[in-house]
Amino acid sequence: MADKKRVLRSALSYGKLDRDGFIHRSWMKAQGLPDDVFDGRPVIGICNTWSELTPCNAHLREIAEYVKRGVWEAGGLPLEFPAMSLGETQMRPTAMLYRNLLAMEVEESIRANPIDGVVLLGGCDKTTPGQLMGAASVDLPTMIVSSGPMLNGKYRGRDIGSGTDVWRLSEDVRAGRMSASEFFAVEAGMSRSRGTCMTMGSASSFAAVAESFGLALPYNATLPAVDARRQAMAHLTGRRIVQLVEDDCRLSRFLTRAAFENVIRVHAALGGSTNTVIHLLALAGRAEIPLTLDDFDALGRDVPLLANIQPSGRFLMEDLHYAGGLPALMKAMQSLLHLDAPTAEGRTLGEIIGDAECYVPEVIGDLDAPVNETAGIWVLHGNLAPGGAIMKPSAASPQLLRHRGKALVFDTIEDFKSRIDTPDLDVDASSVLVLRGCGPVGYPGMPEVGNMPLPRKLLDRGVSDMLRLSDARMSGTAFGTVVLHIAPEAEVGGPLALVRSGDEILLDGPARRLELLVEDRELEERRAAWERTRSDNGPTRGYLALSARHILQADRGCDLDFLRGASGSTVERESH
């Protein structure tokens, strides 16, 4: 039973012996709750992004039942509530547009309700980041249970990876190496169990973020969604969150600068998604932790790729789990981590990974025998990206990491789609494909279109990669020599807006340079003549209008400017 000495936040509602207390309790009793559950015990909110429109999270109602078991067992009162679900593969124009709306909803739902701690259930790409951002601005005791990855995809005797093989196979279809009917036959084999993409895409990357922050129990990132041990982990999380409330151990205890450094290093060793950069910058803004885009490059510089997982490697998340999971990977790089970081599980990070073992060295390398010496996120600067741009070298072609070529510019993704396969397109393998109008304001929402398909006529000649630049994002499951998140974006007048087809562009990845090789005076003339691509003023109503006015650029995490920082958990006024 809960320690009654400390008055919990929920007692300000359920502990009142007056008319207000009657109102708070009576309506809850309509759900069959007995009198004595309002005795001052910890009330645990279970924030659930379950939805049949987010198939990656469709099993989270069942997972919530296991969390509840643990909460009851530890003497708490579990109360599940929904939050907007963001299905990456279903939402238009892009799920990212709504990450901040989810974060607002989660923040206000936690703050407005009489709960003392919260367990976040999410998985699909934008759900966990949005939930964690919202929770960080309230700062109650908080833990995470992720959806867990799908089982490995299977097709004709080989493993296939979510997303990564979609990009690969769709290029095979365009190049005539695969028939359309074969392509459709892959669909069911790729997504053959519940759970998130089983490559090191954005969902797996952020589940690993949750685990390396210590906000989720060990193996949260890798245990397959359908493994019974994930249900047991949810049960144990329910027990543990009650203890965190009793100890008043809040989220801010784990969201420290040292923990961010651990997370960024682990993410580099995993070959994690470029999307994580945006989410961590936004989260740091909520938690008021100093963190810049350049920190990702600096902290990842001495970290090689240790996880041999698609899209940077060969294997899939199920394989990573059987090889020892994140604890084994973190042990392999322990000299680079702050081992005294606390975790919600109760032990320090160092204690958790102390007994970890790698069972399959082919899947998890170590610092002496990494999967690839090149890893992490490269942060590029230059006259084309004054606010910065990023690329993921482990997913790029080594021969293109230093490249100079002529720009072929597309003003919108529709422009790109209408022209890329035309036979008379002025393009060769050395060209640099430039796409703009796809930033947080311009699209809006910064879609995952930065890994543009290659021109069909070059595919026919066997070209398999080209340098591509944009103000867009790309799926964490994607690969190629792709420069993303160019800031400021073209729509707000960034230099990307000034590029013309035929201009020379220089990428010097090892020197972190991205330059438009055009005279300054010429650029000034182009700027004076520049007009926005959009003819209207963008969205005029509702959340979209709010977002267009307040969204920050990618180098600051794309949060809304007025959401940075915290509001805390105190609400002074009663409802009646």
| Per-residue binding letters, 14-33, with ligand FES (x by CB under 6 A) | --------------------
Minimum Å gap between C-beta 275 and ligand FES is: 11
CB of 48 to ligand FES, least distance (A): 16
Three-state DSSP at 203 gives helix
Q: At CA 311, angle to CA 306 and CA 314, rounded to 5? A: 65
196 or 481: whose CB is closer to ligand FES? 196
36-75 residues in contact with ligand FES (CB under 6 A) are 56
- The region of 197-205, 268-276, 512-520, 568-576 touching ligand FES under the rule CB under 6 A is 197-205
C-alpha–C-alpha distance, residues 150 and 162, integer Å: 9
- Residue 193's contacts (CB-CB under 8 Å, 6 or more residues apart) are 150, 151, 224, 225, 226
Name which of 134, 144, 298, 150 is nearest 209 in CA terms.
144
d(CA 58, CA 27): 29
Distance of CA 351 to the CA centre of its chain: 27
Q: Which is nearer to ligand FES, 194 or 485 (CB)?
A: 194
What DSSP state is assigned to residue 444?
A: T
- Smallest gap from Cβ 449 to ligand FES, in A, equals 15
With CB under 6 A as the contact rule, the residue among 74, 124, 284, 352 that binds ligand FES is 124
Question: Which of 116, 125, 211, 318 is close enough to bind ligand FES by CB under 6 A?
Answer: 125
Q: For ligand FES, give the closer residue by CB, 125 or 159.
A: 125
Q: Does 89 participate in binding ligand FES (rule CB under 6 A)?
A: yes
Strand partners, 508: 402, 513
Rounded-to-integer distance, Cα 194 and Cα 100, Å:
26
Q: Choose the stretch contacting ligand FES; rule: CB under 6 A; options: 40-48, 129-137, 193-201, 327-335.
A: 193-201
Q: Pick the closer one to ligand FES by CB: 60 or 251.
A: 60
Q: How far is the CB of 211 from ligand FES (least distance, A)?
A: 16
Minimal distance, residue 91 CB to ligand FES, in Å? 10
Report residue 104 as tokens.
């607002």
* Minimum gap (Å) between residue 56 Cβ and ligand FES: 3
Q: How far is the CB of 439 from ligand FES (least distance, A)?
A: 22
CB-nearer residue toward ligand FES: 58 or 138: 58
Among the residue ranges 195-203, 296-304, 378-386, 409-417, the one whose residues contact ligand FES (CB under 6 A): 195-203
Residue number, 124 or 487, with CB nearest to ligand FES: 124
Dist CA 436 CA 483 (whole Å): 12
From the list 292, 296, 378, 377, the residue with the least C-alpha distance to 557 is 292
Integer-rounded Cα Rg, in Å, for the chain is 24
Which is nearer to ligand FES, 58 or 483 (by Cβ)?
A: 58
Among 196, 343, 431, 470, binds ligand FES (CB under 6 A): 196
Assigned token pair, 325: 């999971």
Contacts of 200 (CB under 8 A, 6+ apart): 270, 271, 272, 273, 307, 309, 310, 311, 312, 313, 317, 476, 477
Side-chain-side CA neighbours of residue 173 (13 Å):
15
**Number of residues near ligand FES (by CB under 6 A):** 10
- Nearer residue to ligand FES within complex by CB, 151 or 333: 151
Shortest reach from residue 537's CB to ligand FES, in Å: 32
Nearest distance in Å: CB 172, ligand FES: 21
Contact (CB, 8 A) for 200 and 309: yes
Among 136, 203, 291, 305, contact with ligand FES (rule: CB under 6 A): 203
Q: How far is the CB of 287 from ligand FES (least distance, A)?
A: 24
Least separation in angstroms between residue 401's CB and ligand FES is 27
2 alpha-carbon distance from chain centroid: 35
At how many degrees (to 10) do helices 257-270 and 275-287 cross?
Answer: 170
Handedness of CA 146, 150, 152, 153 (dihedral sign): negative
- Are 106 and 118 contacting, i.e. CB atoms less than 8 angstroms apart? no
Shortest reach from residue 278's CB to ligand FES, in Å:
16
- Site for ligand FES, residues 482 to 521, rule: CB under 6 A: none
Residue closer to ligand FES by CB (options 85, 237) is 85
User: Which residue number, 74 or 166, has a Cβ lying nearer to ligand FES?
Assistant: 166
> 188-225 burial string, b = 16+ CB within 10 Å, else e?
eebbbbbbbbbbbbbbbbbbbbbbbbbbbbbbbbbbbb
| Residues between 536 and 555 that touch ligand FES (CB under 6 A) | none
What DSSP letter does each residue of 504-537 carry, written as one string? EEEEEGGGTEEEE-S-HHHHHHHHHH---S-SS-
Kindly state whether residue 197 participates in binding ligand FES, applying the rule CB under 6 A.
yes
CB of 163 to ligand FES, least distance (A): 7
Select from 153, 201, 285, 494 the one that contacts ligand FES (CB under 6 A): 201
- Pairing relation of β-strands 77-82 and 117-122? unpaired
* Cα separation of the two ends of the chain: 30
Instruction: Give me the amino acid identity at 197.
Output: C
CA 239/CA 508 separation, integer angstroms: 51
Distance of closest approach, residue 198 Cβ to ligand FES, in angstroms: 9
Task: Among 88, 105, 319, 503, indicate the residue that binds ligand FES (CB under 6 A).
Answer: 88
State the binding string over 154-183 for ligand FES (x if CB under 6 A, else -).
--------x---------------------
Binding mask 264-293 for ligand FES (x = CB under 6 A): ------------------------------
3-state helix, strand, coil in the chain (%, to 5): 40, 15, 45
Q: Between 52 and 351, whose beta carbon lies closer to ligand FES?
A: 52
Nearer to ligand FES, 123 or 134 (CB): 123
DSSP 8-state code for residue 364: B
Nearest to 550 by CA among 70, 103, 6: 103
Q: Supply the minimum distance, in Å, between the C-beta of residue 374 and ligand FES.
A: 25
Q: Which residues bind ligand FES (CB under 6 A)?
A: 56, 88-89, 124-125, 162, 196-197, 201, 203
